[in-house]
Homo-oligomer: A and B are copies of this chain.
Amino acid sequence: MADSSSPAASRSPIEHYLQQLHARYAALDEGRVADYIPELAKARPDWFGICIATRDGHIYEVGDTRQHFTIQSISKALSYGLALEDRGEKHVLERISVEPSGDAFNAISLKSGSGAPYNPMINAGAIATCGQVMPKGNATRIERILAYLSGCAGRTLDIDQAVYLSESETGHRNRAIGWMLRNFGIIEEEPTEILETYFQQCAIRVTCRDLALMGATLANNGRNPLTREQAIAPEYVDNVLSVMSSCGMYDFSGEWLYRVGLPAKSGVGGGILAVLPGQLGIGIFSPPLDAQGNSVRGIRVCADLSRELALHLFAGGAAPQSALRLSYDGSQVSSARRRPRLHQQTLRASGHRIRMLELQGELIFSSLEPIVRLALKQAPYCQYLVLNFRNVASIDEVAARLVTELQASLAAQGVALVFCRASKLAAKLVAQGVAQTSFFANSDAALEHCENALLQGMFGERWDDSPAVSLADTFLLSGLAAEDLDWLDAEMGTQTAGPGDVIIRAGDDADTLYLLLSGSIEVRLPNDAGLGARRLDVFIAGMSFGEMGFLDGSPRSADIVALEPASYRVIDRALFSRLGHERPHTKIKLLEQLAQQLSAKVRRSNAEARAFKG
């Protein structure tokens, strides 16, 4: 796999790239495998794995990504997260600083006065961090750390006992550090067990793939992308990434941030874990180390990855995308509710006073701020503003507060801000003070609400969107002579339906044309891809329905259900045919009306499609 270099061998250009990168450094013969204990010296210098795990859990891997090795110092970054969860930020910061020391990893560098280690990434800080982790219930410190790291990796990890014992036997310098920490009161008990915890933590066995998934967990706000477990409390993810950024690579940290630009941590086992926050995790494994104790191939691979894939934290492309997906108004798109002609004309003329903004992605300050600005700019020209959250993945507290304050600000200007498809996010908004009545199940319901409110505001008392009509007043028969109408009146059937009654069922033969005289009916797709019924149309008194199947003979494509007590007249095929023979000119008029009605539908759908296509 590693030496393959034709794109055909791997279909993904990303896998192909990683294979090339692996091949580029596989033969590199620099650095030395750690040998301060015999167990580490057993590592083969040609072991070499590269793994990238995306924030949504896709894994690209090449080389020895399933080979086990000990995590060593990489554990320091993760157990720091557990210490913060156990003790809180204030307690931990009082005992362990977060300044880069400029010293090597094993320096006994404690601040003068307090004795606080400079940061949790040097040994002194890492041992102090172990001391902040608390035993809980029956679980010892190391059991909790092991479970925590397992959660980050998404599988059950274990400890390499041979490495642990070997480290423990030779860890004199670390014991000295432990006693210094006890001396300054940074740790509150004798250091013996804490030191054993530390040695065991460093001996946890991982693979390169585990490192990438730990990185992806950090990139994914602490949630493991495969198991979906919240492995690291989200409020401490930025703390862990911060110390990795400023101190993760010891006295190489400044240059690492400058050149590679990814929070990272390395270990003498040959592993490097790097994170592009919000995006992906990287795991590299290659045992030969440089003078600073970092994997030689690991450093080169990370630098190339950062440069060649433009992953540097401060690379120009990292801008968030606008949260605005689509914008249209109520004159371009109507709700499914059909309206009397006067109302239709009113909405065509004044529908722009309803503005629909479809949002997308993750709503945070920076992505929402332009939307707030747009809404305020629109405010003088509209009365209703609908935010559609269908494509919104998440909303943070800040964005929820902004939306709530925007609603208040718009209300002060006489503009109502309502929401649709917000079910996932409603709780956060309601907690901020948004009224439950501001939420609608879908954009059609929100649009209909705004249309109704707009029409009610304009027509006041005269507002009635489905007044009963006589046969002569139906759109279809409006041009007919009295005699023709009488003939049809006598021949047409009369039917009624109660609220919820199904008048037409999808799949039925289409042998009837309907004229609605009172009430309103809904056309709906019964089960639309698991979303439940979807409303396609609402017809009101005076309108005909069922004409498309009636004309082209195809079976009914949707259900038609009465929304309120409805009465309607029916024309079946036999009557339609008889009409042609007995009163051909009447039938011509009727067909011309039907064709006009269909033309209007085509014009409406074309306009809608244009609004959506942009």
Q: Which residues of A are in contact with B by a Cβ distance under 8 Å?
A: 7-8, 11-14, 16-17, 54-56, 58, 97-102, 119, 220-222, 234, 237-239, 241-243, 245-247, 251, 253-255, 257-258, 261, 263, 276-280, 308-322, 325, 360-367, 369-370, 372-373, 376, 379, 390, 393-394, 396-399, 401-402, 405-406, 408-409, 412-413, 443, 536, 547-548, 551-552, 557, 580, 584-585, 587-588, 591-592, 594-596, 598-603, 605-606, 608-609, 612-614
Tell me, rounded to whole Å, the shortest Cβ–Cβ distance linking A397 to chain B: 7
* Residues in B neighbouring A596, C-beta threshold 8 A: 551-552
- Within the complex, which residue of B314, B315, B606 is in contact with A364, where a contact is CB–CB below 8 Å? B315
Tell me, rounded to whole Å, the shortest Cβ–Cβ distance linking A479 to chain B: 13
Known contacts A317-B394, A594-B595, A261 near B242 by CB under 8 Å:
yes
Give Cα A322 to B412, complex, Å.
Answer: 35
Tell me, rounded to whole Å, the shortest Cβ–Cβ distance linking A190 to chain B: 30
Tell me, rounded to whole Å, the shortest Cβ–Cβ distance linking A210 to chain B: 21
Tell me, rounded to whole Å, the shortest Cβ–Cβ distance linking A254 to chain B: 4
Known contacts A7-B405, A14-B402, A99-B102, A276 near B600 by CB under 8 Å:
no
A314, A376, A443, A552 — most chain B CB neighbours (10 Å): A314
Q: Smallest CB-CB separation from A252: which chain B residue?
A: B99
Tell me, rounded to whole Å, the shortest Cβ–Cβ distance linking A592 to chain B: 6
A234, A315, A379 — most chain B CB neighbours (10 Å): A315
Can you give 10 contacting A-B residue pairs, CB < 8 Å?
Answer: A16-B409, A242-B257, A309-B365, A309-B398, A311-B365, A318-B364, A547-B595, A548-B602, A551-B592, A595-B595
Tell me, rounded to whole Å, the shortest Cβ–Cβ distance linking A305 to chain B: 9
Whether B276 lies near A238 (C-beta < 8 A) is no
Tell me, rounded to whole Å, the shortest Cβ–Cβ distance linking A245 to chain B: 6
Tell me, rounded to whole Å, the shortest Cβ–Cβ distance linking A241 to chain B: 4
* Residues in B neighbouring A373, C-beta threshold 8 A: 12, 58
* Residues in B neighbouring A254, C-beta threshold 8 A: 97-100, 119, 243, 246-247
* Residues in B neighbouring A594, C-beta threshold 8 A: 595
Q: Smallest CB-CB separation from A598: which chain B residue?
A: B598
* Residues in B neighbouring A580, C-beta threshold 8 A: 585, 588
A56, A251, A254, A405 — most chain B CB neighbours (10 Å): A254
Whether B277 lies near A314 (C-beta < 8 A) is yes
Give Cα A599 to B597, complex, Å.
Answer: 10
Whether A314 lies near B242 (C-beta < 8 A) is yes
* Residues in B neighbouring A321, C-beta threshold 8 A: 320-321, 360-362, 367, 393
Tell me, rounded to whole Å, the shortest Cβ–Cβ distance linking A4 to chain B: 14
A7, A99, A322 — most chain B CB neighbours (10 Å): A99
Give Cα A404 to B594, complex, Å.
Answer: 52
A308, A393, A608, A609 — most chain B CB neighbours (10 Å): A609
Give Cα A251 to B220, complex, Å.
Answer: 30
* Residues in B neighbouring A599, C-beta threshold 8 A: 547-548, 551-552, 598
* Residues in B neighbouring A311, C-beta threshold 8 A: 365-366
Whether B101 lies near A13 (C-beta < 8 A) is no
Whether B364 lies near A278 (C-beta < 8 A) is no
Which 10 A-B pairs have CB atoms at the shortest separation, nearest pair first?
A321-B361, A13-B405, A605-B605, A221-B316, A584-B584, A278-B319, A598-B598, A99-B254, A317-B364, A238-B314
Whether B13 lies near A409 (C-beta < 8 A) is yes
Whether B277 lies near A318 (C-beta < 8 A) is yes
Whether A11 lies near B551 (C-beta < 8 A) is no
Whether A412 lies near B8 (C-beta < 8 A) is yes
Whether A536 lies near B606 (C-beta < 8 A) is yes
Whether A319 lies near B588 (C-beta < 8 A) is no
Give Cα A234 to B8, complex, Å.
Answer: 35
